[in-house]
Structure 1
C-alpha cells in the first residue's frame, strides 16, 4: 500500500456474550479492546440477560451485538477476537457444539456481504438465525441488514423464531 492509499473499511457485525466472572466488566473490556484494535464502533446494542443456549449452566449470560467498521480482513478480525478472548481468560473454545461457561465469547456474525466457509471461519455465522440471544441485540443495531444467504433481514429472522 502506498502512503496515499486509504485502507478499505468493511462493516462487520459481532455478537458478544459472557457468563463467568464480572460479566458486565468482561463485555465492556472486550468492547474497548475491539474499539482500540479493530476499528470504530458506530452502534452497540443494550446488554441482554439470557439463559444459556446449547448447554446447562446455573450462570446466565449477558449478550450484546456491535456494528464494527474495520480495515481488518475477516481472518485478521477472527485472530483478534480470539486473542481478546484469551486475554480476558477464555481457555476453552466450543467445539462440535459442545459449549462451556466462558468469561467472553466474540462471534463474527456478518462481514459485509461476504459468504465464506473455511475450517477456521464461517460467515455468515451458521447458527445466528436460530438464536434469539443473537438476533434480538442485532435487530437493535441493524434491523434492516440483509442476511447474504437467507436473503431476509435481521428483523425478519428474529420474527421468524
Structure 2
C-alpha cells in the first residue's frame, strides 16, 4: 500500500462541487481517501483571471503504480470537463486540476511524470492544504517537512 498526495484546484463553475466530485472519483478509481484538507480560496498563480481558485489536498492509499494513478486522474479531469492541460508554463482557467504531488518517497523524472511535483514547494496554494493534512511528511528531495516548506 502506498500513500499518494494530490493537489486539487478549480476556478470555474461550482467549485466546491468540482472538488468533491474529483475526490469521489479518485476514491472510486485510485484508492481510499485517508485525509482531505479544508478547501482554500486562493488567487490565480502564474496567470491573470477574474476567477479565484478553490484548492485542497488529499492523501490516498493505493496499490496502483504511479503512471496508472496519473492516467486515472487525467481521465477524471477530462470527465469533469477539463479540455486541455497547461503547457510550457502557460496557465488558464480550469474546471478541475488534479496534480500528483507525492507518491510515497519515490523520486521519478520522466518526460511523462516527475515526482515529487517539481513546483509544489513554490506554491502556497499547494503547501497550505498539504501541510494541514501532512505537516510532518518529509519532501524526498528537499528533506524538509511540509510545515517547514510552507
1:72 aligns to what SS in structure 2? coil
Q: Does 1:121 align with 2:113?
A: yes
Q: Is 1:39–2:31 an aligned residue pair?
A: yes
User: Could you tell me how far 1:57 is from its partner in structure 2?
Assistant: 0.4
RMSD of equivalent CA atoms: 0.5
Choose which of 18, 21, 42 in structure 2 pairs with 1:29. Answer: 21
Q: Is 1:136–2:128 an aligned residue pair?
A: yes
What is the TM-score when the length of structure 2 is the normalising length? 0.99
Selected match of 2:64 from 41, 64, 72:
72
Deviating beyond 2 angstroms after TM superposition, the runs of 4 or more aligned structure 1 residues are none
**C-alpha separation in 2, matches of 1:65 and 1:52:** 17
Q: CA deviation at 1:89?
A: 0.5
- Show the counterpart of 2:49: 57
Alignment partner, residue 149 of structure 2: 157
**8 Å contact kept, 1:92–1:100:** no
Can you give the 5+ residue segments of structure 2 that lack an aligned partner in the other structure? Answer: none
Instruction: Look at both structures and tell me which one has the larger radius of gyration over its CA atoms.
Output: 1
* In 2, Cα distance between equivalents of 1:49 and 1:37: 27
* 8 A Cα contact 1:13 1:109, kept in partner: yes
User: How many equivalent residue pairs?
Assistant: 150
Matched, 1:10 2:2: yes
Q: What are the superposed Cα offsets for residues 45-104 of structure 1, whole Å, 9 maximum, x if unpaired?
A: 000000000000000000000011011110000000000000001001001110010000
The question of whether the paired residues in 2 share the 8 Å contact of 1:15 and 1:63 is answered with yes
Residue segments in structure 1 that go unaligned for 5+ positions in a row: 1-8
